[in-house]
Amino acid sequence: MILHNLRVTHWRSLLQPTEVGPFVEGLNVIHAPNGTGKSSLFEAMRRALFDAHLVTGKEIEAVRPWGRSLAPQVMVEFSQGCVRYRIEKVFLDSPSARLSRLEDGEFVPLADGRNADSELREILAARDTPGRGLSKQEHWGLAQVLWAPQGALSLSFVSSSVSENLRAALGVQLTGESGTRLEELLEEQYLSLFTRSGKPRAGKDAAPILAMESQLAEMAMERHELLAQQQSFEEAAGAVEDARQRRAQARREADALREPLGQTRKLAESFQRLQSDLQQKRQTEQTAKERHESIGRTIELIADARREAAGLKAQIERDEALLGELAAELKTASARADERRRQREEARSRRASLSQRTAEVEDARAFLADTKARQALAARLEKLQQLQTGFTAERQSRAVLVAPDDRAIRDVRKHLAARGKAEAALQASLIRLTVRPHRAATATRKSPEETRAISAGEAATFAGSPEVSIEIEGFGSIHAAGPEMDVDALRGEMAEADRKLAKLTQPYGTQDPDRLQLVRDQAKELDQKIEVLERQIGELLGDDTTEELQGDLAELDARILERTGRFPAWKDQPPALSVLQSALEEQRKAIETAVVQAEDAFDEAQAGAQGVEKRHTETAAALKGARLALEAADRRRSDFTRDGLSDHDRQTARQEASMAWEAARAQAEECKRKLEEIGDDPQKSLDKMELQLRALEAAEAAARDDEKKAEGRLQSLAAAGAYSKLSACEERLADLTGRIRREKLRMDALRLLHDTVASCKAAAVAAVAAPVERTASRMLERVAGPRLGPVRLTGEFVPAGIEPKALGEAVELDNLSGGEQEQLFLITRLALGQVLAQNERQLVVLDDVLNATDTGRLARLLTLLEESAGALQIVILTCHPERYRALEAAAFFNLQP
Amino acid sequence: MKIIHTADWQIGMRAESAGKMAERVREERLAAAQRVVQAARDHGAEMLLLAGDVFEDNAVDRLLVRKAGEILRRFPGPVYIIPGNHDPLSPGSVWEHPVWAEAGNITVCTRSEPIELETCVLFPCPLREKYSTKDPTSWINGRAAAKPAIGLAHGNVEGIPSGEPDYPIPRDTANRRGLDYLALGHWHSLARYEDPNGECRMAYSGTHETTGFGERDSGNAILVEITRRGGPPALTSIRTGGLDWRTVEHSVAQPCTLESLVQQLAEIAQPESTLVRMRLDGMLFPEDRGALRRLEELLATRFLFGALEAEGLKPAPDGEGWIESLPAGTFQDAARKLRALASQPSGTDQQATASQALLQLFDLHERSRE
């Protein structure tokens, strides 16, 4: 696109019609001070080219000149594809649009209203319409890269539509016109089956395979159910077959069982009959046996009774003789035992003498102990008496000694010092008058009156206060006066000290502190002695008192006296305890030995007597028992023989019973043999077989029931024709599976084709982007030197960064200075513009850019702009025209009137 | 005496390979049954022997059983049927259907015991389960028969490659069992077994109507003529099949060969009863793409059923003209990549997908030039 003329009216600050142009195909600089409407001019051009004339809203309202009800108007003349157009639009009030084309030197209307809007977008290849609002950058077609509004030079964000437009523009070069059509067809085909993210289309225009797969899932369910039905049919057939087999088997087994069952039943009957016979025979046998045994037993009992009676009689005779002998022996033994008892008691009586001797030994031990205790106690009391005597003496001494305590001595010393001090002060305050007459004289003092004879040459001193007046006989009076002092107070102090001293020392008879201290030391010494004695007495007494000790002594004396009364010899000679104890032990041993011997002898005699007595008792009892047994045996014999039979008769009867028993036993054995031939009771087998037969009959009946049920189910399933349905279902399934496979192949192939073409195209685009990168890199190096390195663009043609050679790795744009960033973005736009201008010159608009670029780099950029102007029309809007004056070929347009 | 020996009608079978024409294929099996009966009448056969697998399964639609019974009922002579392994004599089987009792001329042989007929003795060998390793003819002793002894059995003649022995039948069963002829069923292709004397006394009639692609010598019945006991039977194959199942396999090695296949398909008579499965592999040359499309069209429209399996075709490696005809740049690059993928060994998904992608690319290219 090439811009020729631009006219704007009622647009923001451009109140009056403002026309700029005609522009040259190379460099154009529109300049004016701030606020005069440069950017409004650029904005008006964008609105004219890319916005619908009917657009409403706050944004377009803001375009209206402030405070005026004027409709913004704009006219743009431009060329596109070697055709010159004019677009005229009025916004807001009576909005209108008219697109004209230059034909034969005149602009001829081409479209108006909405048609003008859409036709214009078509001409400018701005396919993305803005909708109801104002257009944004993404609606500007290629201008979004080539036109840089004020403050928007950067290319940090590019919308997808921008990149698509760029790709579309580059795609023409990649595939050519026919390739574009093919690409469109491919895209159309692809989007008919897939979403742009590559998923099969769903919803209203869903890919056919989705419906097929859904159908397949339903059919798979149907097949599953039919297969189950088919299996049920086969299982039911199997169940019928099984039931038939079971029924037949049960019937066969029952038939097979019936014959042996009959035989067993007969055998069981025989067995029961034989068992009954055997029972009767055994009873007969038992009866015969019992009779035989009864007769035999009677014979034996009679014989036993006879033998027993004979034996008992002999025993009675022996016991009677023995009883007489034992009575005599018992008498002798009793007498011997009595003698031995007497001897034992005698021996035991000797133990009394032993206790007397033992008491004597105990007395001797006690006597000796008491004597020893008394001696110790007496010594203790003596010592105690000594100590108490000393204690009493010291206490008396201490009682008579009046001694001050340490405090009193300290007070005496204090008062003495006070008194001395007062006295010294008094002496110092007195007026001293010393008289030494040449000859003897008498001096009289009036107050206090004093007369003193003074020898010749003798000095006599009179002291007083406040004056001293004496009268010397023969001489006259002498008056001496001095300074007036408070002598009375000093005297009072002395008197007070004397009073206190007198009070303190009155008990002691002296005011000499040293003497008082001596008395005090004496008293202390006495106190210490008393304390020692008191402690010794306490230790000696312990817990006792002197009275208690004296009581103990008296008790000991009494006990000693009592024992010496009983044993007078001990007064002179204390007893020898060991001698007494030895004698006692010897005596005790002799007595105990005699007692043991006597007791043993008694026990022996006593045991002998008791043994004889026991035998006698036993013999008597035995005799009595024998007599009773004899009576019983006689009674039994008479009972057994009461039938009156003879022994012979009884033997005969026994033989007859024996023969009957043998006969009965033989019959029972025969019966038993027959039973043994049969073996175990057949009734058990019979019971089991009958149970088995009933079970088999029940099994047959159950199998018949099962068979009927299964047959009913089978007929129902057979009537359903499950296999035919399953076949039809599987045929449809196979057909559908085949169609899905083919459709999937078709889709996979289309996806593969689409993706392959896309990847090839991406590679081609990348290859195209490379020259753009190279161009931009060269430009940047020319402007900023080699330090920044090559420029790197993203796949969306957005500058991603640079690769300084010194670093060897990419650096993001944020690391560049503001000036370098704007230089890089301008260079990128110029490089892209050069690529896009290969087929047709393109318009580049730069609104107030390069404000952060220094003068040196600006000069180099201007050179680049001049070079780029060979392929691009460049329109620069600035408030600093002087910066661009170096552009010699540029056309300058001053907006300022 | 003249007998029609037929078997393996497989009424009610599934026909997955026939796609949407499966029902038509099933119906044709009943039509073929009518042709068998008609052929028996036409050839004056006294008896019709069905050697098993009359039905595909015991759970087929009972209406089919009724239809088959009614068709056989129309035969004026006796019909003897043995259950086969597909329709064994088991509870709930098709043989419990009342149509067999209603038809006075049909005997479903349910016991392995001789049936004394006026002109021959029949030794039927009905099967009671789907699988067995037992020789179903082992009970037969036809040596004592005064009349021609004819066996009717279903199983695998030893020597036919199969897995585990399943109803094995010795190759010399006819002679071993004293049979004049043993009518066999189970295998769908017609097969004769000659004894050392060169006489054929046992044979598979094969199915009366071909069941699918690749079946050899099927769609027949056998007319058996026996003049006397011990005499050599005369066997005549009678065509009963109505559908023509054709498999066309072609490996393309030279350009412009697909056109001959187009011609071949165009020349097939009675396409309305023909099912065609065409398998192509080898090279796909640019000049053959039109023929390939015509093949697809023919198969889809001319025949009862047609299927083209062309996934095995790879773009010809030296067909640079394909790629050069595309717009230069992206599309040629993409086409070369796809051709490299398509040139991988056949059978891989990626190869087939890439081949298809190439074809789609060229189709789109052609559309873009319209």
CB contact under 8 A, A182 and B364: yes
CATH number for the domain spanning A174: value is 3.40.50.300
Contacts of A721 in chain B (CB under 8 A): 59-64
CB contact under 8 A, B14 and A722: no
Distance CA A425, CA A276 (A): 169
pLDDT at residue A178, rounded to an integer? 65
Amino acid occupying residue A354: L
B15 touches chain A (CB under 8 A): yes
- The total number of structural domains in chain A stands at 2
Last residue of a domain, one of A473, A506, A539: A506
Decide if B323 contacts B335 (C-beta within 8 A).
Answer: yes
A712 in any annotated domain? no
pLDDT at residue B268, rounded to an integer? 93
A837 in any annotated domain? yes
Query: Six-digit token pair at A87?
Result: 């677009």
CB contact under 8 A, B331 and A179: yes
Distance CA B4, CA A434 (A): 205
CB contact under 8 A, A731 and B22: yes
Residue with tokens 């890269």: A145
Give me Rg for the CA atoms of chain A.
Answer: 82
Mutation target to probe the A interface, by most A beta carbons within 10 A, among B62, B63, B85, B331 is B331
To the nearest whole angstrom, how far is the Cα of B156 from the nearest Cα of chain A? 24
Domains of chain B (ranges, CATH numbers): 2-239 (3.60.21.10), 244-368 (no CATH)
pLDDT at residue A175, rounded to an integer? 58
A197 in any annotated domain? no
B338 touches chain A (CB under 8 A): yes
To the nearest whole angstrom, how far is the Cα of B63 from the nearest Cα of chain A? 9
Query: Six-digit token pair at B243?
Result: 């559908």
Q: What ranges in B303-348 are assigned the alpha helix state H?
A: 320-324, 330-342
Contacts of A760 in chain B (CB under 8 A): 330-331, 333-334, 337
pLDDT at residue A128, rounded to an integer? 66
The separation between CA B65 and the C-alpha centre of its own chain, rounded to angstroms, equals: 20
pLDDT mean across residues, chain A: 86
Decide if A357 contacts A615 (C-beta within 8 A).
Answer: no
pLDDT at residue B262, rounded to an integer? 93
Question: SS3 for B232?
Answer: coil
Contacts of A186 in chain B (CB under 8 A): 361, 364
Tell me the ipTM for this assembly. Answer: 0.90
Lowest mean pLDDT among A312-316, A356-360, A803-807, B57-61: A803-807
Question: SS3 for A473?
Answer: coil
Beta strands in A191-337 (DSSP E): none
pLDDT at residue B16, rounded to an integer? 87
Contacts of B13 in chain A (CB under 8 A): 727
Nearest to B353 among A174, A717, A748 (CB): A748
A216 in any annotated domain? no
Phi/psi region, residue B205 (left: phi>0; alpha: psi -120 to 50; beta: rest), is alpha
pLDDT(A819) > 70: yes
pLDDT at residue B39, rounded to an integer? 97
| Nearest Cα to Cα of residue A153 among A837, A693, A825 | A825
Question: SS3 for A518?
Answer: helix
Phi/psi region, residue A71 (left: phi>0; alpha: psi -120 to 50; beta: rest), is beta
Last residue of a domain, one of A506, A541, A557: A506
Contacts of A761 in chain B (CB under 8 A): 330
A514 in any annotated domain? no
Distance CA B331, CA A774 (A): 26
pLDDT at residue A127, rounded to an integer? 65
pLDDT at residue A645, rounded to an integer? 84
Mutation target to probe the B interface, by most B beta carbons within 10 A, among A752, A754, A755 is A752
To the nearest whole angstrom, how far is the Cα of B127 from the nearest Cα of chain A? 14
CB contact under 8 A, A186 and B364: yes
Give A673's strand partners. Answer: none
A71 in any annotated domain? yes
User: Within 10 A of A291 (CB to CB), how many other CB atoms are there?
Assistant: 17
pLDDT at residue A814, rounded to an integer? 81
Question: SS3 for A754?
Answer: helix
Count residue pairs from A and B with Cβ separation < 8 A.
Answer: 164
Contacts of A749 in chain B (CB under 8 A): 353-357, 359-360
Regions of chain B short of the pLDDT cut 70: 160-163, 317-320, 346-347
Decide if A87 contacts A112 (C-beta within 8 A).
Answer: no
A806 in any annotated domain? yes
User: In whole angstroms, how far apart are CA A7 and each of A69, A86, A400, A626?
Assistant: 19, 11, 151, 175
CB contact under 8 A, B333 and A715: no
pLDDT(A174) > 60: no
Contacts of B341 in chain A (CB under 8 A): 752
Question: SS3 for B193?
Answer: strand
A307 in any annotated domain? no
Peptide bond into A466 cis (omega under 30): yes
pLDDT(A150) > 90: no
Mutation target to probe the B interface, by most B beta carbons within 10 A, among A706, A756, A761, A765 is A756
Would you place residue A168 in the very low, low, confident or very high pLDDT band (cuts 50, 70, 90)? low
Distance CA A509, CA A403 (A): 10
Residue window 70-99, chain B: list those with CB within 8 Å of chain A.
90-93, 96
Sheet order of strands, B234-239 included: B106-108, B79-81, B47-50, B2-6, B220-225, B234-239
Distance CA B352, CA A746 (A): 10
Mutation target to probe the B interface, by most B beta carbons within 10 A, among A177, A232, A724 is A724
Nearest to A240 among B15, B92, B359 (CB): B92
Amino acid occupying residue A261: L
Residues 6+ apart with CB under 8 A from A156: A798, A799, A813
Last residue of a domain, one of A465, A491, A506: A506
Nearest to B368 among A185, A244, A722 (CB): A185
pLDDT digits (tens, 9 = 90+) for A82-118: 899 999 999 888 899 999 999 988 999 999 988 888 8
To the nearest whole angstrom, how far is the Cα of B118 from the nearest Cα of chain A? 35
CB contact under 8 A, B59 and A735: no
Amino acid occupying residue A793: L
pLDDT digits (tens, 9 = 90+) for A668-716: 898 889 888 888 888 888 999 999 999 999 999 999 999 999 999 998 9
Residues 6+ apart with CB under 8 A from B30: B11, B64, B67, B68, B71
pLDDT at residue A172, rounded to an integer? 46
Decide if B232 contacts B263 (C-beta within 8 A).
Answer: no
To the nearest whole angstrom, how far is the Cα of B60 from the nearest Cα of chain A? 5
pLDDT at residue A164, rounded to an integer? 58
Q: What are phi and psi for residue B67, nearest 5 degrees?
A: -65, -45
B63 touches chain A (CB under 8 A): yes
pLDDT digits (tens, 9 = 90+) for A837-865: 777 888 899 888 888 888 888 888 888 88
User: By residue range, what is the domain housing residue A433?
Assistant: 405-506
pLDDT(A412) > 50: yes
Q: What ranges in A785-854 are assigned the alpha helix state H?
A: 818-836
Decide if A166 contacts A183 (C-beta within 8 A).
Answer: no
Mutation target to probe the A interface, by most A beta carbons within 10 A, among B330, B353, B360 is B330
pLDDT at residue A792, rounded to an integer? 81
pLDDT at residue A156, rounded to an integer? 67
* DSSP assignment of A696-732: HHHHHHHHHHHHHHHHHHHHHHHHHTHHHHHHHHHHH
pLDDT at residue A224, rounded to an integer? 94
Residues 6+ apart with CB under 8 A from A132: A55, A56, A57
Decide if A6 contacts A21 (C-beta within 8 A).
Answer: yes
pLDDT at residue B320, rounded to an integer? 59
Mean pLDDT of the region A445-451? 82
Residue with tokens 């009892």: A621
CB contact under 8 A, A726 and B14: yes
CB contact under 8 A, B62 and A746: no
Residue window 349-368, chain B: list those with CB within 8 Å of chain A.
349, 352-361, 364-365, 367-368
